[in-house]
């Protein structure tokens, strides 16, 4: 899912923005992540495949960083939260 503009994100009550370094290296793995995150409503996310860290950004009012890592792991993706 493509992230909406920052003003839209900021209007979602109690949203947190999480940023992770990942091992996503192909569109096939990206689709697996998309399927893993699909059950979670009001979740915005993107992966920058051009960045050397393959940065995953997630905006959510319901999931924690730990839960996002667990869901990504189910799709075979390693995530390391960036500060």
- pLDDT tens readout for residues 11-67: 556 789 999 999 999 999 999 999 999 999 888 999 999 999 999 999 999 999 999
Q: What pLDDT sits at residue 11?
A: 53
Residue 83 has pLDDT above 60, yes or no: yes
Residue 6 has pLDDT above 70, yes or no: no
Q: Give residue for tokens 């839209």.
A: 8
- Other beta carbons within 10 Å of 60: 22
- Domains of the chain and any CATH numbers: 6-81 (3.30.70.100)
Q: What pLDDT sits at residue 15?
A: 87
């Amino acid at each position: 899912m493509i992230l909406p503009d920052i003003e839209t994100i900021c209007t979602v009550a109690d949203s947190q923005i999480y940023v992770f370094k990942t091992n996503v290296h192909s569109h096939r793995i990206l689709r697996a992540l998309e399927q893993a995150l699909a059950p979670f409503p009001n979740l915005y996310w993107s992966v920058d495949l051009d960045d050397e860290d393959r940065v995953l950004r997630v905006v959510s009012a319901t999931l924690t960083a730990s839960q996002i890592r667990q869901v990504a792991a189910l799709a075979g993706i390693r995530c390391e939260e960036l500060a």
